[in-house]
Amino acid sequence: QVQLVESGGGLVQAGGSLRLSCAASGRTFSGNAMGWFRQAPGKEREFVAGISWGGGRTIYADSVRGRFTISRDNAKNTVYLQMNILKPEDTAIYYCAASRLPTVVTAHGTYDYWGQGTQVTVSS
């Protein structure tokens, strides 16, 4: 079992930056690939970024590649999402998720554990 709690969301002006954190508990945390997803009002939840359990491989959605960086510190049981050059279309609730697999994938169905979400609002 993995428990996840996101933090770091808030209101930011377009072009600004935020860093989201995901604090995880559970003995097998380091064995799970991790992902960030987001869901805007009226839209389907979408994959944003993912990272393998060892941190050696990352995957990004086309919409955020070059602007967002995912990282993890397994010693601290924490996953981060550094978001730069934020755009209004980045506005969404951001969810941290833990996969049951060590290999990072984009499909949300492979993620067994989810945080409660943190709101990110980007103003123009």
pLDDT, tens digit (0-9, with 9 covering 90-100), for 100-115: 888 888 888 889 999 9
Band of pLDDT at residue 12, cut at 50, 70 and 90: very high
Contacts 24+ apart (CB under 8 A), 61-64: 61/106, 63/89, 64/90
Whether the CB-CB separation of 117 and 97 falls below 8 Å is answered with no
